[in-house]
Amino acid sequence: MTTFAKTDLRQQLSLYFVAGTMNCESPEAFERILLQAIKGGITAFQYREKGSNCLTGEERFQMAVRAKKLCGDHNVLFIVNDDIELMKSVDADGLHVGQSDGNLKVIRQETKGKILGVSAHTLAEAEDAVSLGAEYIGAGPIYQTSSKPDAKKPVGAELIKEFRSNGITVPLVGIGGISLEKAGAVIEAGADGAAVISAISCAKDPSVSSSEMFKIIMQAKRGL
């Protein structure tokens, strides 16, 4: 496994692409887009294969193996969404879970030695996640999203400010409706990075979109 120093996590989460094959026209398009995103400069990738038309079983495993290889070859952090067994079987760098994905204490036990990220929609959720060992928080949805049918109400970049002013110091990414235009505001609010699906998966040129977003994020980080 690629080992990522924990001190690098803030940097490594700067531009976090989240996707599964169902976010793209086909499994082939997914692999092509992931490679373009990597070439454009994403720093982390979350394999989030879920919902209707998603791959299952052996196909899902094989896709995860290939996605991990693409990421590993380019020093991109490789995180698996929800599925501990898949994380273990492909030896991913970590796992990302939401609030309803099981008992966080148990999940933390089962992800020892791996990076654990948790989604939080409120300060209380973020505090609980950190106290149970989450190494980074995905805060959101920040803006309106059409990529997650069951997404909660958008909370705005204010949520990130609220987390930061209330002692949430762990690495943090904003997620939900983050476009090129909005990425800077998310960093200025106190996030270490932006997590996006459609800004890259639906882009005319995912490579250009990734490299532009990376530049905006790094600029905003330098300005802080």
β-pairing, 136-139 vs 193-196, is unpaired
- Alpha-carbon radius of gyration of the chain: 16
User: Any catalytic annotation for residue 66?
Assistant: no
Pick the catalytic residue: 14, 60, 114, 119? Answer: 119
For the CB of residue 64, give the shortest distance to Mg ion in the complex, in Å: 16
175 is an interface residue for ligand TZP by CB under 6 A:
yes
Separation CA 60–CA 222 (nearest Å) = 38
Please select the residue that binds ligand TZP; options are 139, 183, 186, 199, rule is CB under 6 A.
199
Q: Which does 101 bind (CB under 5 to 8 A by kind): ligand TZP, Mg ion, none?
A: Mg ion
Torsion of CA 138, 75, 45, 6, to 10 degrees: -20
According to CB under 6 A, which residues from 51 to 90 bind ligand TZP? Answer: none
User: Any catalytic annotation for residue 119?
Assistant: yes
Q: Which does 145 bind (CB under 5 to 8 A by kind): Mg ion, ligand TZP, none?
A: ligand TZP
- Residue closer to Mg ion, measured from CB, 101 or 128: 101
Dihedral sign, Cα of residue 21, residue 26, residue 32, residue 37: negative
Report the Cα 130 to chain-centroid distance in Å.
17
User: Any catalytic annotation for residue 48?
Assistant: yes
Please select the residue that binds ligand TZP; options are 40, 141, 174, 184, rule is CB under 6 A.
141
User: Residues 21-46, buried b or exposed e (16+ Cβ, 10 A)?
Assistant: bbbbeebeebbebbbbbbebbbbbbb
- By the 10 Å C-beta count (0-12 exposed, 13-18 middle, 19+ buried), 54 is classed as middle
For the CB of residue 81, give the shortest distance to Mg ion in the complex, in Å: 6
Please select the residue that binds Mg ion; options are 27, 98, 154, 156, rule is CB under 5 A.
98
Task: Find out whether 46 is annotated in a ligand binding site.
Answer: yes
Encoded tokens for 113: 């030695």
Residues with a known catalytic role: 48, 119, 148
Binding residues for ligand TZP, per CB under 6 A? 18, 140-141, 145, 147-148, 151, 175-178, 196-199
What residues are designated binding site for Mg(2+)? 82, 101
